[in-house]
Structure 1
Amino acid sequence: MTTGGCQDSSYKLNGLQSKSNGNHGGNSNFVCFKMPLHYPRYKKEDYETMPEWQLDCLLKQYGLPVMGDVADKRSFAMGAFLWPSQINNK
């Protein structure tokens, strides 16, 4: 695990241009698509010991809310990224 700030490991497609059908004054629409390349592969124990800054980065990277205290963030991350059987097993 690294220490420090967030690293952007997401995939970006900038400037994709969609054609207007003429109903919007002929203006082109631009799309910016951003999605992480990999699903996180952390275990329950990893989330339980993960520093708050890393939880913040992980949740932000996946576009999930970064709210509450560190316990709330850990619980939310485990609920979002672990299977129910992984959460209940210790």
Structure 2
Amino acid sequence: MALKWLLNFPVPQPEASFKSTQKKKVVKEEHGHGGFQMPLHYPRYTKEDYEKMEEWKVDLLLKQYGLGFFKGTLEEKRAFAKGTFLWPDQL
């Protein structure tokens, strides 16, 4: 019984995997680097830094971490950044 299952196991065709690889390559070329890229360093701001931070700087920070979609008031952006980047004991 086990031998019959093994003999009927589907084997991927080399041509299919080549087409799949080519398709991925084309998609990657069309869309650049492929999306989110984690910055090298985690932000090292304190709660007080976020509370004094200017709006353009908060926007830039959020954008660098792929969170530039966030819309709201300056206070909402600051609260979002604090909640995202500060550890619970720092809040």
RMSD of the TM alignment (CA)?
2.2
Provide the TM-score with structure 2 as the length reference. Answer: 0.64
Who is 2:79 aligned against? 75
The answer on 1:37 being equivalent to 2:40 is yes
CA apart distance, 1:23: 4.6
Provide the TM-score with structure 1 as the length reference. Answer: 0.65
Query: Which has the larger strand fraction?
Result: 1
Query: Which has the larger helix fraction?
Result: 2
Structure 1: which 5+ runs fail to align?
1-19
The sequence identity of aligned pairs, in percent, is: 51
> Taking structure 1 as reference, are residues 26 and 47 closer, same or farther at Cα in structure 2, changes over 3 Å only?
closer
SS at match of 1:35: coil
Q: How many residue pairs end up in the alignment?
A: 68
Structure 1 outlier segments of 4+, above 3 Å: 22-28
Structure index of larger Rg: 2
